[in-house]
Structure 1
Amino acid sequence: MHDGDTIRVRQGQLVERVRFACIDAPELAQPLGKESRDYLKSLIAQNGNRVTLKIVDTDRYRRKIAEVFSGGKFLQAEQVKGGMACVYEQYLSNCPDAAAVKQAQNFAQSSRVGVWSGNYTKPWDYRKMNR
């Protein structure tokens, strides 16, 4: 587990980094960054640390981009619903289940949880400011 939108998966001897499609979670150095990572870790642990991937692309860092499921839950939607990530509009066209993450974000915003509970900098803005 790296952060709230990137995990390492193992299949046999192969270990790969997988970037979550559709969402962007706070960087570890940002407020809620570690909480986002830990929330994701707890979601995956509920299913014995097993995930299913729907790979949609590969990024410039050679990570697989995927929709990630665990225990019947769509983890992107769970992260967003918990306020631990934002919909990543810039890359939403690469997201087969975009409607689910948008609905989750509407819920999180109206509930004012996590990144929607205060004046948090979006992860993409944070990265631009800290290059």
Structure 2
Amino acid sequence: MTQEVNSVIIVPEDPQTDTISVPVLKIFDGDGFLTRVKVSEVTGNPRDQAEIEITARFGFIDAPEMDQPGGQEARDFLTALIGDKWVELAILMKMNTGRSVDTYGRVVCVPYLTLDYATGEFRTSSSCPHVITNFGAPFRVTRNIELEMVVNGWAWVLERYGPDQRYLDALEDAKRAKRGIWAFKDNIHPWEFKKQKYRNKAPKPPCPTENCSGHLIRKSGRFGEFLGCSEYPRCRYSCSVAG
């Protein structure tokens, strides 16, 4: 599947489950946004009629971090898809909390967007274009926004949560066509990027050598990993990782 410049591949899909209609108030990144819901729609208690603002977190995909290559582009792409619109949320149950919110208090969901179209075009296996028209009466299409983020190349798939096979197919299609982040050379998963960032921020112990201003960092040698001074070769202090 090829994609023209500035075009968007849409993925029609029926949610096949109950959804709630919510406004998109603010896009945070490529897989989350601020919305407003009735508390009862999250808790299931009909007496909770108060409205709250809450973050909606996509359930089966992971977009690049904002300070990672592709992060801002993923947010901009999602903004172009659903910014300032109303979407339908299929709320998921988080296994680690047993609730519809995760450990950060975010609603975990799959977002769907329904739009009316005056005309449409698709191609058959022989690449022959077919044009759809209702002669003035628009036809309505419901789209899976998670799948669209993946197939357009702006998100990974969280395989550990058991997504539908279509997610994995969309991911492979985006990789083959080098869409979005797959056009970059050094792609790493967002969770690996976060690990590296936190590892780099972790305090580094000072080198114990007298009058040395270096600090201890992990290094690899013939016998595995060890801690060595950052001022090497001026300072040759080293010790085992275990201390």
Superposition misfits of 4+ residues, deviation over 2 angstroms: 11-14
Q: Paired residue for 2:211? A: none
CA offset digits 1:77-117 (Å, max 9, x no partner): 00011111011123x22x4xx22221211210111111222
Q: How many residue pairs get matched?
A: 125
User: Which has the higher relative contact order, 1 or 2, with Cα contacts under 8 A spaced 6 or more apart?
Assistant: 1
Output the CA distance in 1 between the equivalents of 2:80 and 2:108: 21
1:11 Cα deviation after fit? 3.5
Q: Which amino acid aligns with 2:71?
A: G
- Cα gap change, 1:100 to 1:9, in 2 (>3 Å): farther
1:52 Cα deviation after fit? 0.5
CA offset digits 1:59-86 (Å, max 9, x no partner): 1101111011112110110001111101
Higher strand proportion, which one?
A: 2
Output the CA distance in 1 between the equivalents of 2:35 and 2:169: 27
Q: Paired residue for 1:123? A: 190
Where do residues 46-85 of structure 1 align in structure 2 (5 Å cutoff)? Answer: 49-57=85-93, 58-71=101-114, 72-85=142-155
User: What is the percent sequence identity of the aligned residues?
Assistant: 31
Output the CA distance in 2 between the equivalents of 1:75 and 1:100: 13
Q: Secondary structure at the match of 2:28?
A: coil
TM-score, normalised to structure 1's length? 0.88
Q: Paired residue for 1:26? A: 64
Q: Paired residue for 1:111? A: 177
Residue 8 in 1 paired to residue 34 in 2? Answer: yes
Output the CA distance in 1 between the equivalents of 2:76 and 2:113: 15
In structure 1, runs of 5+ residues without a counterpart are none
In structure 2, runs of 5+ residues without a counterpart are 1-26, 39-50, 94-100, 115-141, 199-243
Higher helix proportion, which one?
A: 1
Output the CA distance in 1 between the equivalents of 2:53 and 2:103: 18
Q: Secondary structure at the match of 2:91?
A: strand
RMSD between superposed Cα atoms in Å: 1.5
Q: Paired residue for 1:88? A: 158
